[in-house]
Structure 1
Amino acid sequence: MGAHQMQGFGLWGLAFVNSMVFILFALSFFKPQSARDWRSFSAFSAFLVALFAEMYGFPLTIYLFAGWFQSHYPSVNWFSHDAGHLLEMMFGWRLNPHFGPFHIASFVLIGGGFWMISVGWAVLHAAQQHHAMAITGIYARLRHPQYVGFILILTGFLLQWPTLLTLAMYPVLVVMYVRLAHHEEKVAIAEFGDAYRQYMARTGGFFPKWRTPSPR
């Protein structure tokens, strides 16, 4: 693949700037404190770096599958930057991919994810200041809104620009967030006892419960 064919790639400075912008933006909302928090945030950051490295640096996924893509979708210029929006290309969206259905859905998921992280942190921080359980606001519907927010962001980026590396990292990160959530619940039970168990019974972890248990 010659340099003249790689339209819109090799922009490593842009890859770096975009990575830092999203990482710092997420950091301003999440505010990791424990070593576990930092490990999970570091993995999230690695996902973003891998994503933008392919988005603006070198399109490894397209390069590896260029032959298959070209034989199955011959009308697409797979070495153009727009072709990185694989789902739009493969499902036949021939207009500007930035206005394609998957790209629009990705913005909704990414925006919703950052919103959940932000409002979740506000409730959590207020509860920690008073050594109380975070059970108001978005925590009245979900026990782990911040982790749900991160998963929504990851899902949104995958819809927008799927790559081999980020596809491989995605399930690892989801499992990491689930394990972190379970660990935090054990800590909360040790601190708040039955009050937290009752909260768990009436509130969903990663998906909201629309019906609360009937009192016995």
Structure 2
Amino acid sequence: MEIKAGRLAEGPLLAILIYLGAAICLISAILFGASHAAHPLSTLRMIILIAVGSLAFFVFCISFFGLIAYLVFHPSLSKHAHIFTQVHASQMLHPLTTALVLGLFCVCLYYDVTWAWVVWTATLFLYVLHTVMLVRAILDQYMMEDRSPGVKGLIVLILNLIFGAEIVTFAGGARPIAPWQLDELPEDTWIVDVRTKPEYYWNRMQGAENYPWGAGVLEAAAQHSLDRPVLVTCLSGHRSPAVAVYLRKLGFKHVYNLHWGLMYHILLERNKKSIGPFSLTRPHRDPQRRGEDLRHISIGYLTLQFFILIIAPVENWIRHPQVSDLQKIVGLVLGIGGLILGWLSFRALGRNFRVFAAPRRSGTLVTTGVYSKVRHPMYVAAILIFAGYCLFFSSLISAPLWLAFSVLYVVKSIREERILADHYPDYEDYMRRTWRFVPYVW
């Protein structure tokens, strides 16, 4: 049962259910909240709305760029990197879910629709369940190292899991530092790496010392001057804040937490021949991994999608456009159809799923399911989802952004096919048998 619980915590099922509930909640609030203008918000509700909305927006922005870093990193490194990031993926992305739940609370508070509140409560229950399971998984990792985080450490871990490393680091008196700012630190900085030993031996900073989950850091701290700068690192920046805050409480005056962890640092250092205590022992990527080739395109469409997610509802709220029921229904059909297509594509790919064109060395070409009809069903799914989103909110500003990222998907698909053709000998035959995006059209 513990193994199944761990897989459930780290797997996508709970996250998918949460995001599905969020979509239903948002749709319910807007569809049934047309009369909200007749009930102006009280001062108290407005204050709560602004406070919670600001927190949700801040956490969302930080989490979104962390998500981009993860998606860029995950498919482009070695087999061991995939194992490490898969283990911590749910922990890394959980603050994004926090922002979603908080944002939906604001939507429900604004529209005040009973059905939306019911769905939000169910979504909140799933979110709390997922959080508890992730905390349990973290505690299990502590136990594997024969350690206990203590009450204060546990509180820091939970807050870090919910809100992200930046808020916790600031609140604890430490300072987050971006990978490109490492040159500002003195060369005698004490580098504390809190990852597990397999992660540490896979890749690390040249001057780092390994203290898995903080084990032994108290004894080591006694050997250093409190004036000496300290840099705490982990893979994603989500395990290190607890140790950074702990060292700050011990009296160290200059404690830094590596923002987004070694994951982002590896991206910046890749293929560079840098030297010094902050350089990596393995700066080179696996030559058989090619996700890096299309990174700029992927960041482009992810950024455009990010702006669409924000702009469309805000524009709808400001302009109050007259949206017909037919337009809303078409938007819903496109969005739900895109979600179903995306799920079918994900299921068909299974372990071969990659954000970028980075085929598994032991993988096989997937030509079954929806991939027997079109070569890029996931891209079609994303285009449909955001087309429905723009239609539902009747967003004029989002329309050109949607068109732009659709073009990026087309460009990326063409370049990906060249990469996949080099990797799979039968890919050219597969291209002749299937359509790129739309069956019998293109």
- TM-score > 0.5, shorter chain as reference: yes
Q: Is the 8 A contact 2:383 2:406 kept in 1?
A: yes
1:205 counterpart = 2:436: yes
Corresponding residue to 1:120 among 345, 348, 354: 345
Residue 134 to residue 39, structure 1, CA distance change in 2 (3 Å): farther
- 2:312 equivalent in structure 1: 51
Per the alignment, in what secondary structure is the counterpart of residue 397 of structure 2?
helix
How does the TM-score come out when normalised to structure 2?
Answer: 0.32
Q: Distance in 2 between matches of 1:192 and 1:139?
A: 15
Residue equivalent to 1:187 = 419
Q: Are residue 101 (structure 1) and residue 101 (structure 2) matched?
A: no
What whole-Å deviation, never above 9, does each CA across 1:98-134 have from its counterpart, x for those lacking one? xx11111111110111111222122223345641112
Matched residue type, 1:203? T
Instruction: Tell me which residue corresponds to 2:408.
Output: 176
**TM-score (structure 1 length as normaliser):** 0.62
The structure richer in strand per residue is 2
In 1, Cα distance between equivalents of 2:334 and 2:351: 26
**Contact 1:202–1:209 at 8 Å: present in 2 too?**
no
For residue 348 of structure 2, what is the amino acid of its counterpart? V
Identity in percent: 23
Pairing 1:149–2:370 present: no
1:84-95 maps to which residues of 2 (within 5 A)? Answer: 84=321, 86-88=322-324
Q: Cα deviation per residue 1:67-124 (whole Å; 9 max; x = unaligned)?
A: xxxxxxxxxxxxxxxx43x442xxxxxxxxxxx1111111111011111122212222
Counterpart Cα distance in 1 of 2:351 and 2:370:
13
* Partner amino acid, structure 1, of 2:338: G
The reply to whether residue 133 of structure 1 matches residue 365 of structure 2 is yes
Cα gap change, 1:121 to 1:37, in 2 (>3 Å)? farther
Aligned partner of residue 164 in structure 1, secondary structure: coil
- For 2:401, what is the secondary structure of its paired residue? helix
Contact in 2 for aligned 1:40/1:176 (Cα 8 Å): yes
SS at match of 2:394: coil
Kept after mapping to 1: 8 A contact 2:300/2:405: no
What amino acid maps onto 2:424 in structure 1? F
- For residues 10-46 of structure 1, the C-alpha deviation after alignment (integer angstroms, 9 at most, x for no partner) is 96639x58xx6xx99xx8xxx7744344443232122
When residues 117 and 37 of structure 1 are mapped into structure 2, their CA distance, relative to the original with a 3 A threshold, is: farther
Cα distance in 1, alignment partners of residues 368 and 382 from structure 2: 20
Q: Structure 1 residue runs of 4+, over 4 Å off?
A: 31-34
Structure 1: segments with no counterpart, 5+ residues: 63-82, 89-99, 211-216
Counterpart AA for 1:205: R
Higher relative contact order (CA 8 A, sep 6+): 1
Shift of 1:48: 0.9
Once the two structures are TM-superposed, the CA of residue 156 in structure 1 deviates from its matched residue by 0.7
Quote the Cα distance in structure 1 between the aligned partners of 2:400 and 2:298: 21
1:167, CA displacement in angstroms? Answer: 1.5
Once residues 440 and 367 of structure 2 are traced to their aligned partners in structure 1, the CA distance between those partners, rounded to angstroms, is 14
Residue in structure 2 matched with residue 111 of structure 1 by the alignment: 336
**1: distance between equivalents of 2:427 and 2:389?**
34
Amino acid at match of 1:153: I
For the residues of structure 1 that align with 2:342 and 2:298, how far apart are their CA atoms? 13
User: Is this contact kept in 2: 1:116–1:149, CA < 8 A?
Assistant: yes
Instruction: Give the counterpart of 2:395 among 142, 163, 166.
Output: 163
